[in-house]
Amino acid sequence: MDNHFNQFTFKPVMQDVIDKLKFHEPTPIQKQVIPAILTGTSVIGQSHTGSGKTHAYLLPLFNQLDADKREIQFVMTAPTRELAMQIHEEVKQIIDHAGMSKTWIAKLLVGGTDRQKMMEKLKEPPHIIIGTPGRILDLVKEGAISIYTASAFVIDEADLMLDLGFIHDVDQLLVRAKKDIQILAFSATIPQQLEHFYRKYLENPQRIRMNDKLSPETMEHLLVPRRHRDASDVIMDISKTIHPYLAIIFTNGKEAADTLALSLLQKGLNVGIMHGGLSPRERKRTLKEIQNLRYQYIVATDLASRGIDIKGVSHIINAQLPKEEDFYVHRAGRTARAGLEGTVISLYDDQDIRLIEKLKHKGLAFRFRDIKNGEWKEIKSWNERNSRGKKSSSTDAEAWKKVKKSKEVKPGYKKKMKKQQEKIKKQMVQKSTKKRK
């Protein structure tokens, strides 16, 4: 099979790594990002989760690594320790495939680890550091490391970095870096505040925006009306009709996640839980249990849709729809990855209709379903029911116009007029039916 990564000017060792990773066709973002990074250009990459952006920067950076220089050459930052750990795993895999485990040195710098031991290990500088901005900044301030030697600085999930308040730490790190450092910033969205930050540090960056499909063809979107039912009851019904490899159930906040998880556990569903309120140790343990397939269902907040890469997700269930379109897209992006199939099932109320309309306007196709007697049934969408109601009310108005109004108001006149209106309406409907025939 042809390897289309040959179009890039990678060294033989990196071509060998690509072959071992079984990469054959670069993803759209890789096609644009890799050549820019290889020429030393700073990049602002905008693309949704699951687009292949991690290897879009890892492969060209490793291609430029100089093993003879024992100094920090690349700094890679991520907003959560879990995401930093996942990037570190990808880095270790590349090093192993290259057969350079004793030559290329990478260190993970995150909280929840022994600081003193970490500082001991950093006495001989690694080539690559991967971590959360806060922990890296602490170690820089304490003199354990210097990032001034670094030639490239990665900001992964930059918009989440902004949301979580870590962009100030990134700013403090870049103040301590070379002025001409190559900055590689990736995010799904670019809010205005992030634009100001980019303007401060990036001179003539290459902007790469992927017009990702909101939804791959292998993903379906189902909407289930709540109808005043308890979310846990509906989800239990759903669980009896689907057979997920792994399903993530999203809520809007930690309290809602805890309440829903407890309710589902009491009903007999084996669920794990993942949100920012857990301690680092609990989150690490839960992630390990997820990887070991202990759970089939995870109740989570949006932390899991952005800052954590959970593999093998076949279903997304929105117990609560988010308030913004981007968060729906991030959640949905957890499934139907790498060409696999995926299903997004969302419980909705009247207050969610505005969001649904916005997503439909952007091109998402929803199917309306409910579960009756343990089976999925197709139902009419809320706006079909509304439009039917409007049709009937406009017929009512037309019929009312044709009613002969009596000048004298006698007892029972309203009843007579209503009867007359119904008769006229019936005639109008019959006439309209004949015309259609």
pLDDT band at 307 (very low <50, low <70, confident <90, very high): low
Distance CA 80, CA 85 (A): 9
Q: Does pLDDT of 369 surpass 90?
A: yes
> Rounded mean pLDDT of 181-208?
90
Strand order in the sheet with 375-378: 271-274, 297-300, 247-250, 315-318, 342-348, 219-225, 366-372, 375-378
Give the model confidence (pLDDT) of 5-20 as tens digits. Answer: 999 989 999 999 999 9
Q: What is the pLDDT of residue 118?
A: 87
* H-run or E-run covering 225: strand 219-225
> Rounded mean pLDDT of 58-71?
96
Residue bearing the bigger pLDDT, 90 or 159 = 90
Work out whether strand 206-209 and strand 271-274 pair parallel, antiparallel, or are unpaired.
unpaired
Distance CA 244, CA 345 (A): 12
Q: What is the pLDDT of residue 279?
A: 82
Q: What is the pLDDT of residue 285?
A: 87
* Alpha-helical regions (H) of 176-276: 192-201, 231-239, 254-266
Amino acid at 177: A
Q: What is the pLDDT of residue 423?
A: 76
Q: How many CB atoms lie within 10 A of CB 72?
A: 21
Q: Does pLDDT of 353 surpass 90?
A: yes
- 21-25, 49-53, 316-320, 371-375 — which is least confidently predicted? 49-53
Q: Does pLDDT of 181 surpass 50?
A: yes
Q: What is the pLDDT of residue 390?
A: 47
Q: Does pLDDT of 154 surpass 80?
A: yes
Long-range contact set of residues 178-183: C-beta below 8 Å, sequence gap at least 24: 178/148, 178/150, 178/151, 181/150, 181/151, 181/152, 181/153, 182/37, 182/40, 182/41, 182/42, 182/151, 182/152, 182/153, 183/42, 183/43, 183/152, 183/153, 183/155
- 100-109, 168-177, 274-283 — which is least confidently predicted? 274-283
> Rounded mean pLDDT of 273-286?
84
Q: Based on the number of CB atoms within 10 Å of its own CB, is 213 exposed (0-12), middle (13-18) or buried (19 or more)?
A: exposed
* Contact status, residue 48 vs residue 305, Cβ threshold 8 Å: no
Residue bearing the bigger pLDDT, 436 or 60 = 60
Q: Does pLDDT of 1 surpass 80?
A: no
What percent of the chain is modeled with pLDDT above 70? 85
> Rounded mean pLDDT of 124-137?
96
Q: What is the pLDDT of residue 435?
A: 54
Give the model confidence (pLDDT) of 389-426 as tens digits. Answer: 444 455 666 666 666 655 555 555 566 666 776 777 67
Q: What is the pLDDT of residue 387?
A: 47
Q: What is the pLDDT of residue 162?
A: 86
Q: What is the pLDDT of residue 235?
A: 97
> Rounded mean pLDDT of 44-53?
80
Q: What is the pLDDT of residue 408?
A: 55
pLDDT band at 110 (very low <50, low <70, confident <90, very high): very high
Q: Does pLDDT of 138 surpass 50?
A: yes
Q: How far is CA 434 from the centre of its chain?
A: 52
pLDDT band at 59 (very low <50, low <70, confident <90, very high): very high
Q: Does pLDDT of 169 surpass 90?
A: yes
> Rounded mean pLDDT of 200-228?
84
Q: What is the pLDDT of residue 432?
A: 62
Give the model confidence (pLDDT) of 223-239 as tens digits. Answer: 999 998 999 999 999 99
Q: Does pLDDT of 49 surpass 70?
A: no
Q: What is the pLDDT of residue 409?
A: 52
Q: Does pLDDT of 293 surpass 50?
A: yes
